[in-house]
Amino acid sequence: AKVFVYDKRFDGLPKEGDLKLIEEELLPIKDGEFLAEALYISVDPYMRYFAHILPIGSTFVGQQIAVITESKNPDYPVGKYIAACFGWRTHTISNGTTDLAFPTGVVPIIPLPDDEEIPKSLGLGVLGMPGNTAYFGFLELCQPKAGETVVVTAAAGAVGSHVGQIAKIKGCIVIGIAGSDDKCNWLKNELNFDHVVNYKTQDIDKTLTEIAPQGVDCYFDNVGGEISSIIIDHMNLNGRISVCGCISGYDGKKQMSPNIQLPMIMKQLRMEGFIVYKWLDRWSEGIIQNWEWIKQGKLKYKEFVTNGFENTFKAFIQLLQGENVGKAIVKV
Ligand code: NDP
């Protein structure tokens, strides 16, 4: 097996040399075990944050789509596809549990929908963890109503682009915030967002005043930091904030606490953070609904594919630099 091992603690943006690519010998499988071969590896923003607590020398964390190639476990027969948190490795021997120990405890191996029509890679994106993050994290915590105004950050990413489209399905006015004109054009022209803001070239505060004089009812927060403080200042009475991610703070550096208390009090806002696995018992509900919306043409997705397992770390750095549109994955 080829395995990426965490070798040097990240200091600033992760760089070449922080991970080591090694070869690991595989033992014969025992009773109750199976061998899985990775087809697609996921690179996700949270990995930068997890790296602060991941012990040096560990396999780097992450989900993959794998196919079972040998098995002595009847629950995992040869040919079955799974989404599993095995980390960045090409081959894994498992007994059917994974122990992504932080912060949620054991994350079970999730079977993929059997539908032959579904490309397997979607199990890492729109029909997997990010898709359910958008589905549950937005609908459950923001409780959007038709006619309300919704703002989403990292809007051209896997989760953000999905949230914005669910908000459109629910009849909301959707404002997406993203880091390039190309991303903004995609959101506006192909995903029908009502407004877009390029946070690198436009003043968010001023632009929101112009495009959303009615105020903001729901904010789906993927980035945290100053951008979020500015948006929260534009919220309406009884607004809802779903705190999904904090990518601006994943470098582990202490951030100045944004002054959000005043709008939280005066507008009586509700702000709630979540980890998507809290909805594990309803997992298939999200997958089925998202697949339904795709088939109806209401939900579009993009995959940002890097080829070759050895390029996984490069793909991760590109993601952190905002080069991806849609879900960043690696085709092994
Ligand atoms: P994305 O596909 O959105 O990729 C990350 C994007 O973030 C980049 O493309 C970049 O786009 C943007 N970005 C990077 N740095 C900054 C910055 N400093 N300020 C603002 N934007 C930045 O990733 P995902 O869709 O996979 O994840 C989105 C968020 O959701 C992440 O914070 C992630 O950790 C979180 N998440 C949370 C889950 C949960 O259970 N709570 C589950 C899954 C994801 P741009 O060009 O626009 O800057």
Going by C-alpha positions, the residue among 98, 161, 82 that lies closest to residue 324 is: 161
Q: Determine the average pLDDT of the residues in 39-62.
A: 92
Whichever domain contains 102, its CATH number is 3.90.180.10
Where does a domain end: 258, 276, 294?
A: 276
Contact present, 65 and 81 (Cβ < 8 Å):
yes
Q: How far is the CA of 28 from the centre of ligand 1 (A)?
A: 39
Statement to judge: residues 49 and 146 lie in one domain: no
Residues 110 and 142 placed together within one structural domain of the fold = no
**205, 177 in Cβ contact below 8 A?**
no
Query: CB of 158 closer than 6 A to ligand 1?
Result: yes
What's the pTM value of the predicted model, to 2 decimals?
A: 0.95
Query: For position 105, what pLDDT does the model report?
Result: 37
What is the domain range of residue 242? 129-276
274: DSSP letter: -
Q: Which atom of ligand 1 is found nearest the CA of 46?
A: 34
* Contact in structure between 216 and 209 (CB atoms under 8 Å): no
Overall average pLDDT of the 176-205 stretch: 98
Query: Which token pair is 221?
Result: 């927060």
- Strands in the chain per DSSP E: 2-6, 19-23, 34-42, 64-71, 81-84, 91-94, 110-111, 149-153, 173-178, 195-198, 216-221, 235-243, 270-273, 303-307, 327-331
Domain-located, residue 92: yes
With a 6 Å cutoff on the Cβ, whether 248 touches ligand 1 is: yes
Going by alpha carbons, the residue nearest to atom 44 of ligand 1 is: 130
Give the pLDDT mean for 213-241.
97
Q: How far is the CA of 322 from the centre of ligand 1 (A)?
A: 8
The band of 101, judged by pLDDT with boundaries at 50, 70 and 90, is very low
The tally of domains found in the chain comes to 2
Tokens of 320: 């952190």
Q: Are residues 97 and 186 in the same domain?
A: no
Please give the average per-residue pLDDT across 321-332, as a whole number.
97
Residue 308 lies in a domain: yes
pLDDT for the residue numbered 84: 87
131 lines ligand 1 (CB under 6 A): no
CA-closest residue to ligand 1 atom 19: 248
pLDDT band at 43 (very low <50, low <70, confident <90, very high): very high
Residue 239 belongs to domain with CATH number: 3.40.50.720
The residue that leads in pLDDT, 74 or 53, is 74
pLDDT tens profile 302-312: 999 999 999 99
Structure tokens at 70: 């040998």
Q: Is the CB of residue 176 below 6 angstroms from any atom belonging to ligand 1?
A: no
For the complex shown, is ipTM > 0.85?
yes
Q: Is the CB of 179 under 6 A from ligand 1?
A: yes
Ligand 1 within 6 A of CB of 239: no
Q: Rounded mean pLDDT of 212-232?
A: 97
Q: What percent of the chain has pLDDT over 90?
A: 82
Is 92 a residue whose pLDDT tops 60? yes
Which pLDDT score, from 0 to 100, does residue 309 have? Answer: 98
Q: Is there a domain that residue 262 lies in?
A: yes
Residue owning the nearest CA to atom 48 of ligand 1: 179
Q: Quote the ligand 1 centre to 153 CA distance (angstroms).
A: 8
Please indicate, yes or no, whether residues 173 and 213 belong to a single structural domain of this protein. yes
Helix (H/G/I), strand (E/B), else coil: 154: coil
pLDDT classification of 102: cutoffs 50, 70, 90: very low
Note whether 96 and 77 are same-domain residues: yes
